[in-house]
């Protein structure tokens, strides 16, 4: 029951994702973190997150809130 979940819960329930922090910006930050980690750290979840957010962006959700990744997964648009 995290504060982030509470903040995004209404978006998921209403399937409406006005951008507070866009999916496109989340993808940028994931890529920055991946580049910073470089070869020094193994972070397989980061590669999976990058792939997921990249596919969601390609499906047209990049301008929506980062919570729209749920819509991408739930609606099977992949």
CATH number for the 3-74 domain, one of 2.60.40.1220, 3.20.20.150, 1.10.1040.10, 1.10.3720.10?
1.10.1040.10
Q: How far apart are CA 3 and CA 6, in angstroms?
A: 5
pLDDT at 1: 78
The model carries a pTM of 0.83
Average pLDDT over residues 41-69: 95
CA angle 16, 21, 24 (to 5 degrees): 95
pLDDT at 29: 98
CB 65 within 8 A of CB 14: no
Rg from Cα positions in the chain: 13
How many helices (H) and strands (E) are present in the chain, helices listed first?
A: 4, 0
Grade residue 65 by pLDDT with cuts at 50, 70 and 90: very high
Residues 6 or more apart from 18 whose CB is under 8 A from it?
11, 64, 65
pLDDT at 78: 56
């Amino acid at each position: 029951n995290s504060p982030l979940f509470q903040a995004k819960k209404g978006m998921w329930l209403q399937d409406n994702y006005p951008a507070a922090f866009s999916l496109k910006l989340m993808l940028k930050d994931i890529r920055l973190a991946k580049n910073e980690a470089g070869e020094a750290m193994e972070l397989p979840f980061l590669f999976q997150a990058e792939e997921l957010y990249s596919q969601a962006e390609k499906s047209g959700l990049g301008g929506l809130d980062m919570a729209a990744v749920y819509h991408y997964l739930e609606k099977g648009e992949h």
